[in-house]
């Protein structure tokens, strides 16, 4: 059996996305900037995609800018806020310790004074923390909508309200949230929002940045007049159309999918925590429907992933070896886990394509693998 349980990394494309893209790739191959028929057809397709994405998050079409994905959207939003802030002598940014590296590394490179808010043991930050951190020279608050590792959903509406009151632009990296939980930029007081198609069954290499029309957005890439002159370059029409079709489908099916996936997730978490010396990471109440994240004491994540892969199970971990650095995940350390525990993390992220039988298969295989690795571990002590 092959079980794909790494949907926070990326998802398989939906039929809706693929079927929407194919005719663009084969027939509507024109350049959306061209005057001729096939070019105008491409422009029409692109505008249609923009409208659908805008509708899905409560925005206006002209507030949607197509990008290459979540990382670019995050980088663009931060770069623009930093440049505009500097014009008014504002060089302070507020964010959290558990952001994606697309945000954290960009903030570090910005040269600004950055306040990284701590999170509690569930990974939650409070609007009060944001309010207390705002200074006269704060040019941006950026807080992720939902965490990619532990699935914790932050109080975005309330944080947005705090920012509105203080007159500080508010950006949220909503890459893990869009298509999975309701997002309404107006009601949630969001000024800028990043999303990526491949996290909700769209194609890779395409995403979008929403920017409130009242908030100034600078040019990201010099060139032609594409994306309102702010991001030159021939548009990825098929990608945009695939993203729009995937999002439209995800939003239409959201309630049913969320209920199904959350039920699978809860069964998975309940089964995994039956293994002794196992803890759940992230909030149990403010949590993405598909995210299960646990730590097994006494073992290391990469060997666990390799053994799961040998059984056809695709998962992820926050261990140092899988993060490509010598430290385990900054998110797991930020919620207060010691290094030794953080190294033994397992992230299983589900989608509506997963089944009850697959959850059974995962549970059947995880326990013996954990047992085998613990038997081999010099630090494991049975309690």
Are the CB atoms for 328 and 346 separated by under 8 Å? no
CB of 378 to other proteins, least distance (A): 4
Residues touching other proteins, count (CB under 8 A): 25
**321 included as an active-site residue:** yes
When asked if residue 328 is in the footprint of other proteins (CB under 8 A), the reply is yes
- Least Å distance, CB 343 to other proteins, is 4
Report the alpha-carbon distance of residue 196 to residue 183 in Å, rounded. Answer: 14
183 HSE (CA, 13 A, CB side):
34
* Residue burial 28-61, b: 16+ Cβ < 10 Å; e: rest: bebbbeeeeeebebbbebbebbbbbbbbbbbbee
Environment class of 249 (CB within 10 Å of its CB; exposed 0-12, middle 13-18, buried 19+): buried
336: left (phi over 0), alpha (psi -120 to 50) or beta: left
The least distance separating other proteins from the CB of residue 13, rounded to whole angstroms, comes to 25
In terms of CB distance, is 353 or 380 closer to other proteins?
380
Residues near 252 by beta carbon (within 8 Å), at least 6 away in sequence: none
Q: Of the two residues 179 and 301, which places its CB atom closer to other proteins in the complex?
A: 301
Nearest approach in angstroms of CB 374 to other proteins is 9
Q: Pick the closer one to other proteins by CB: 242 or 298.
A: 298
Nearest 10 degrees: Cα torsion 106, 162, 200, 21: -80
Query: Positive or negative, the Cα torsion across 220, 225, 226, 228?
Result: positive
Query: Pattern 253-292, binding to other proteins, x per CB under 8 A?
Result: ----------------------------------------
Cα–Cα distance, 80 to 248 (Å, whole number) = 29
> Which listed residue (320, 335, 348, 350) binds other proteins by CB under 8 A?
320
Contacts with other proteins in 8-67 (CB under 8 A)?
none
Q: Report how far residue 299's alpha carbon sits from residue 288's, in angstroms, rounded to the nearest whole number.
A: 26
Q: Which bin fits 96, alpha (ψ -120 to 50), beta or left (φ > 0)?
A: beta
Span interacting with other proteins, options 120-128, 198-206, 208-216, 334-342, rule CB under 8 A = 334-342
Closest distance to other proteins from the beta carbon of 190 (Å): 37
The DSSP secondary structure of 249-285, one letter per residue, reads HHHHTHHHHHHHHHHHHHHHHHHHTTSSSEEE-S-SS
Which one of 340, 355, 357, 381 is in contact with other proteins (CB under 8 A)? 340
Q: Is 318 in the site for other proteins (CB under 8 A)?
A: no
Give the one residue of 56, 299, 308, 348 binding other proteins; rule: CB under 8 A: 299
Query: Can you tell me which of 109, 270, 284, 310 binds other proteins, judged by CB under 8 A?
Result: 310
Please choose, from the candidates 170, 15, 157, the residue with its C-alpha nearest in 3D space to the C-alpha of residue 78. Answer: 170
Interface with other proteins by CB under 8 A: which range of 68-76, 137-145, 227-235, 296-304? 296-304
Of residues 351 through 380, those in contact with other proteins by CB under 8 A are 375-380
Give the range of 122-130, 203-211, 256-264, 319-327 binding other proteins by CB under 8 A. Answer: 319-327
Quick one: 158 or 302, whose CB is closer to other proteins? 302
Q: Is 312 in the site for other proteins (CB under 8 A)?
A: no
3-state secondary structure (DSSP) of residue 378:
coil
* Nearest distance in Å: CB 304, other proteins: 10
236 belongs to the binding site for other proteins (CB under 8 A) = no
Which 8-state DSSP code applies to residue 61? G
Measured in residues, the chain has a length of: 383
Of the candidates 113, 137, 253, 302, which one interacts with other proteins according to CB under 8 A? Answer: 302
238 lies in the binding site for other proteins (CB under 8 A): no
324 binds other proteins (CB under 8 A): yes
Residue numbers at the binding site for other proteins (CB under 8 A): 298-303, 306, 310, 319-321, 324, 326-328, 338-340, 343, 375-380
Positions marked catalytic: 321
């Amino acid at each position: 059996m092959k079980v794909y349980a790494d949907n926070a990394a990326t998802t398989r494309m939906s039929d809706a996305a693929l079927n929407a893209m194919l005719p663009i790739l084969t027939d509507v191959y024109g350049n959306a900037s061209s005057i001729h028929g096939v070019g105008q057809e491409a422009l029409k397709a692109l505008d249609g995609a923009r409208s659908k994405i805008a509708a899905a998050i409560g925005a206006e079409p002209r507030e949607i800018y197509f990008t290459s994905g979540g990382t670019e959207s995050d980088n663009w939003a931060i770069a623009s806020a930093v440049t505009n802030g500097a014009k008014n002598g504002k060089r302070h940014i507020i964010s959290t310790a558990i952001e994606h590296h697309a945000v954290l590394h960009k903030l570090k490179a910005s040269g600004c004074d950055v306040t990284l808010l701590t999170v509690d043991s569930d990974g939650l930050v409070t609007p009060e923390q944001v309010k207390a951190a705002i200074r006269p020279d704060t040019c941006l608050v950026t807080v992720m909508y939902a965490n990619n590792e532990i699935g914790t959903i932050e109080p975005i509406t309330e944080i947005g309200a705090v920012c509105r009151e203080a007159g500080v632009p508010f950006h949220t990296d909503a890459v893990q949230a869009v298509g999975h939980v309701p997002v309404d930029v107006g009601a949630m007081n969001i000024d800028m929002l990043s999303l990526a198609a491949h996290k909700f069954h769209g194609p890779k290499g395409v995403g979008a940045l929403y920017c409130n029309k009242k908030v100034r957005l600078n040019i990201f890439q010099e060139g032609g007049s594409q994306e309102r002159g702010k991001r030159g370059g021939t548009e990825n029409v098929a990608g945009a159309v695939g993203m729009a079709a995937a999002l439209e489908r995800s939003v239409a099916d959201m309630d049913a999918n969320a209920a199904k996936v959350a039920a699978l997730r809860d069964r998975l978490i309940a089964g995994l925590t039956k293994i002794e010396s196992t803890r759940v990471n992230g909030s149990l109440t403010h949590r993405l429907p598909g995210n299960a994240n646990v730590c097994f004491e006494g073992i290391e994540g990469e060997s666990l992933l390799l053994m799961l892969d040998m059984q056809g199970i695709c998962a992820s971990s926050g261990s140092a070896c899988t993060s490509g650095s010598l430290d385990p995940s900054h998110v797991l350390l930020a919620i207060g886990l010691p290094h030794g525990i953080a190294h033994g993390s397992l992230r299983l992220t589900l989608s509506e394509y997963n089944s009850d039988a697959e959850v059974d298969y995962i549970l059947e295989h995880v326990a013996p693998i954990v047992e085998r690795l613990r038997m081999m571990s010099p630090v494991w002590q049975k309690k």
